[in-house]
Structure 1
Amino acid sequence: MPPNPVRLATRAVIVHKHRLLLVNAWPAGRSTLLCAPGGGVESGASLPDNLAREVREETGLTVRVGAPCLINEFYDPRSSFHQVEVFFRCAIVGAATIPEDWQDPEKIVSDHIWASEHEISDLNVKPDSLAIIAFENDHALSYDALEPIVL
């Protein structure tokens, strides 16, 4: 059986009022794992366009997509799922309020959290370097080596 193709995804690093936006992208909150909003890339649209669409679907927010800041990849050895994610720094355009009852069309995102740099250390967040990337002043592109997925 041929291996599954590598999935390409985009993620948004959105820091507003010294807080990073995180989402729980596990239906019905079946995991406590939090990540940056974003998702799979659809063919025929640029990475920034895909990301703006994903952020809008998952949060209702409109963003301006900036420079890439992190490339992360992970895999699930149980299913051979392998994903490469390109994280971009993003800025909110307009209101930064996510309605409490906001639901993405696929009903996957179960929670939105604005977390300070201090609060992130108490949360289950992947990738591990996300907080450093979000809150550091160095805007160089970073790479996280392949790691197993952790639920």
Structure 2
Amino acid sequence: MPPNPVRLAARAVIVHDARLLLVNAWPKGRSTLLCAPGGGVEPGASLPDNLAREVHEETGLRVDVMAPCLVNEFHDPRSGFHQVEVFFRCTIIGGSRISADWQDPENIVTHHIWATQEDMAGLHFKPSSLAQVAFADADALSYDPLETIVM
């Protein structure tokens, strides 16, 4: 059996009013795992264009995609799933309010959290370095080596 192809995803690091936007990562509440909004890229569109589309689908927000700040990769040894994610700092265009009745067209994202740096200590999120990168003032690009996905 040939190995699964590596999936490429783009994710948004959106910090607004000292809070990071997180979304649930598993449909139907299968896990408490949270992540930054975003998802798989579609061929023929740039990473920033894919990311702006994904953020809007998942939250209804419009964003301006800035510089990359983190490259993360993870895998699931049981299924062979392997994903490389490029995280970009983003700023909100317009309002930051996510409508309570907003629906992700793919029905994966069902809730959103605006978390402070202090809140992050009590949350289950991936990648492990997300809070450090999100709340850092540095413009440096970080890399998270391959980690095993956990639900």
Scaled to the shorter chain, the TM-score interval is: over 0.9
Aligned equivalents of 2:29 and 2:102: distance in 1?
15
Aligned equivalents of 1:35 and 1:139: distance in 2?
21
**Offset at residue 43 of structure 1 (A):** 0.1
The residue aligned with 1:146 is 146
CA RMSD of aligned residues (A): 0.5
Aligned equivalents of 1:73 and 1:27: distance in 2?
21
Aligned equivalents of 2:121 and 2:28: distance in 1?
23
Aligned equivalents of 1:99 and 1:12: distance in 2?
19
The residue aligned with 2:120 is 120
8 Å contact from structure 1 (residues 29, 111) kept in 2: no
8 Å contact from structure 1 (residues 64, 90) kept in 2: yes
The residue aligned with 1:33 is 33
**Offset at residue 25 of structure 1 (A):** 2.3
- The TM-score with structure 1 as length reference comes to 0.99
- The TM-score with structure 2 as length reference comes to 0.99
AA of the residue aligned to 2:139: H
The residue aligned with 1:49 is 49
Query: Aligned with 1:9: secondary structure?
Result: strand
Aligned equivalents of 2:68 and 2:47: distance in 1?
10
Aligned equivalents of 1:124 and 1:102: distance in 2?
23
Aligned equivalents of 2:90 and 2:70: distance in 1?
13
| Count of aligned pairs between the two proteins | 151
Q: How does 1:1-151 map to 2 (within 5 A)?
A: 1-151=1-151
Post-superposition, which runs of at least 4 consecutive aligned residues in structure 1 deviate over 2 A?
Answer: none
Task: Encode CA deviations 1:47-99: one digit per residue, 9 max, x unaligned.
Answer: 00000000000000000000000000000000000000000000000010001
Aligned equivalents of 2:64 and 2:137: distance in 1?
19
Name stretches of at least 5 consecutive residues in structure 1 with no aligned partner: none
